[in-house]
Amino acid sequence: MKRPASMPGRGCARSWRASLSHNASAEVDLRRGEPPVINDPDMVEIVRRTGAGLLGQDNMLIAPGWTAADDFAFYSEKCPSVYFRLGIRNEELGAVYPLHHPPFQVDEQAIAIGAVVLCDAARKFLLPPS
């Protein structure tokens, strides 16, 4: 999948319209960094089925899309991939803060669960169905 070519133009247009509505001016300096992360639909389905099978559908949340840029996007341009999040909230351990927040803590058990999901999804991707 390719990067949507219109995204920078839409951002500039929005800035311009917002500045006009406030009798101001706007200057937009676009810098190319990481490309957008675009999940491969087949990989999304593999991870969704794997997670539901291992954790139960009630323990999964299919989040709406969000704008993400990450080094991972360079990999996703080369091969089928999926970028997903692993929930790690555990109030008993104080693991309630988001990533990059100063008191962030991780529930180590969540890492093990995520590793199992990743391994099983990789197996399903690499091995033909029996």
**How many Å apart are CA 75 and CA 79, to the nearest integer?**
6
Q: What is the DSSP string of 87-124?
A: ---BGGGTB-SPTTSTT----HHHHHHHHHHHHHHHHH
pLDDT value at residue 3: 44
Q: What is the pLDDT of residues 2-57, one digit of tens each?
A: 444 555 677 778 888 888 889 998 887 777 777 888 899 999 999 999 999 999 99
120 vs 63, residue with greater confidence: 120
Q: Crossing angle of helices 108-126/41-55, nearest 10°?
A: 130
Chain centre to alpha carbon of residue 84: 5
- Tell whether the model's pLDDT for residue 126 goes beyond 70: yes
- Tell whether the model's pLDDT for residue 101 goes beyond 60: yes
pLDDT value at residue 19: 86
Q: What is the pLDDT of residues 86-95, one digit of tens each?
A: 888 999 999 9
What's the rounded mean pLDDT across residues 47-73? 87
Q: Which DSSP category does 37 fall into?
A: P
pLDDT value at residue 71: 87
pLDDT value at residue 40: 94
pLDDT value at residue 109: 93
Residue 106 to residues 48, 52, 86: CA-CA distances in angstroms? 23, 22, 11
User: What pTM does this model have?
Assistant: 0.70
What residues does 120 pair with on adjacent strands?
none
